[in-house]
Amino acid sequence: MYIVQILKMLIKKYNYQAFFFLVVFMTFLLGSLVKNNILLTDDLAFVDNARFAKHKNFFEYIYSFMNTETMTSRPVSAFITALITYASSYYERFYYVAYLFFIISVFFVFKITQIFTKNFFFSIATVFLYVFLPVGNALVFSPIMLNSALATIFYCSSLIFLLKEQKHKYDVIYSALFFLLSILSYEIFLPLILSNLFLIKKRKISYLAGIIITYLIYKKIIEPSLFENYYHREQVNILLNIKRDFKILLKSIKVIIYDLSISVIRAIKAIRYYSFQDFISLILISTSFLYFISRNKIEGKPFEKTPNLIHFLISSLILSFTIFLVSNYEPSIKGFSSRTMGGIRLYFSFFLMYIFIKYRLKTLFSITIIIFIINSISVKNAWQYSSEINNEIFKKISLKKITTKKAPYLYIVFNKENINLKKEFSDKQKEDRNYFFRRDQFVAEEPLFYAPWESDYLKHKFNIEKKINIEYYFYNDKVKTKPYYLFDFHRNNLLLIK
């Protein structure tokens, strides 16, 4: 119902053009990936596994899909992903229906901003920031990241009930329920339970205890009982590792100040690789946004009725980073590693909106949005380039007629100088990775495939023997036991190392 109401309201507004072109642009971005069948990293593995779904009983497939180390801690999103992959076994392109969850999450971002600000212009402005923000790009471009979109939808729903007047005693219960659904879809909003407490007028302790106890019941009783392969992804004990905590703090600052700046600069430089459609899309959406922002004046004191909003946004943004203190993940906007930054993406968008509107920085806001749009197009192209590289590599390998009779492993090297194995392997990992991602087509080290299980789809596509483990040279901690193949991508040369 929320989505229908928002759509009706948008159509009635004279400045609906901005929203219309936003939808068109998102369709262009994601539609391009669907059209070109762009699959990278985890998506490669999921689509490959889906090929075998047609040979399994429906319930058997759903359970086996959820009964993995990755999925048992995320049963809500795992169930929905299992349904999609089961359906996609009959029609591969159906897998991309997962993009709809990100689009739906955008509506919920709009709704929650409306409740915060009670202003249509501010809400649309936040949506533009959220859609194009150069943080957590994997959440937009990777279908498997529907878990993050679901977590965002449920988290925003949780906030909606708390931002009501809370006259109904069930509002707090509904909020707790949606918060649980959020963290059981993806853990990125887990620390933000403290932000929710700021918004509760009564029953704070009951709210906190209810969520924690229910979550622990699932983790300690239900999950181990239902699933054999359950895995405790959260690691609270590492919170006491002061050295690591300090490292996370420095990396968090580096991500926002340095990495973000570098990726934006690279995105602007990548304009030279734009297609005609890319330029048309950039012009249309930029013009639309400029028209939209010119038709709206920032009058009065926008946040006078919500004086504590900035404190809430800053504290929530900081809390979003603390998810890295209790997990093995580290803050990064690079490649598929950016998938953990859903909470940061949400509150960074809110925070920027507040600063731009509060201090009436409309010109800076316009320039920022246009730069972010450029970044989105460049990242889309980088993902497509990564896919093309994958296909090129495996096509070349398929022509070499490799076989497990000679060697069970194949390593891919991008820098011909790294074929000499006399140096420490860890050094060669960094050398090879940096050498490859210095290509101008990349913006933030967009993913290719990382692990052997992610290459099965490409091996099937190019008729390469499935038993051969193929992986990028920089992925391993050490070279495996000989013999193995070494594929020199630079010279299209295959070596057999005995």
For the stretch 81-140, pLDDT in tens is 999 999 998 888 899 999 999 999 999 999 899 888 888 888 888 999 999 999 999 999
pLDDT at 11: 47
484-488: strand order across its sheet: 469-472, 409-413, 484-488, 493-497
Q: Tens digits of per-residue pLDDT, 239-249?
A: 778 888 899 99
pTM across the whole model: 0.92
Q: Any residues with CB less than 8 A from the CB of 438 and at least 6 apart, and which?
A: none
Asked if the model's pLDDT at residue 496 lies above 60, the reply is yes
- Rounded Cα distance between 448 and 458, Å, is 11
Cα separations in angstroms, 70 against 23, 75, 96, 225: 32, 10, 20, 16
Contact 267, 375 (CB under 8 A): yes
Average pLDDT over residues 454-467: 91
As a whole number of angstroms, the distance between CA 386 and CA 446 comes to: 7
| CA atoms within 13 A of residue 460's CA, in its CB half-sphere | 14
* Contact between 338 and 137 (Cβ < 8 Å): yes
* Identity at 406, one-letter amino acid code: K
Nearest to 159 by CA among 307, 309, 302, 9: 309
Q: Is the pLDDT of residue 421 over 80?
A: no
DSSP 219: I
Residue scoring higher pLDDT (229 or 380): 380
Give the pLDDT confidence of 25-58 residue by residue, as tens digits.
888 889 999 999 999 989 999 999 888 887 788 9
Pick from 83-92, 184-193, 257-266: least confident:
83-92
Query: Residue for token digits 């050490």?
Result: 478
Contact yes or no for 413/474 (Cβ under 8 A)? no
pLDDT tens per residue across span 343-369 = 999 999 999 999 999 898 999 999 999
The rounded distance, in Å, linking the Cα atoms of 432 and 415 is 6
Q: Which has the closest alpha carbon to 195: 338, 381, 350, 355?
A: 350
Tokens 């859903």 sit on residue: 342
Q: Which residue has the tokens 């405790």?
A: 232
Q: Are 371 and 439 within 8 A, CB to CB?
A: no
Q: What is the pLDDT of residue 406?
A: 92
Percent of the chain scoring above 70 in pLDDT: 89
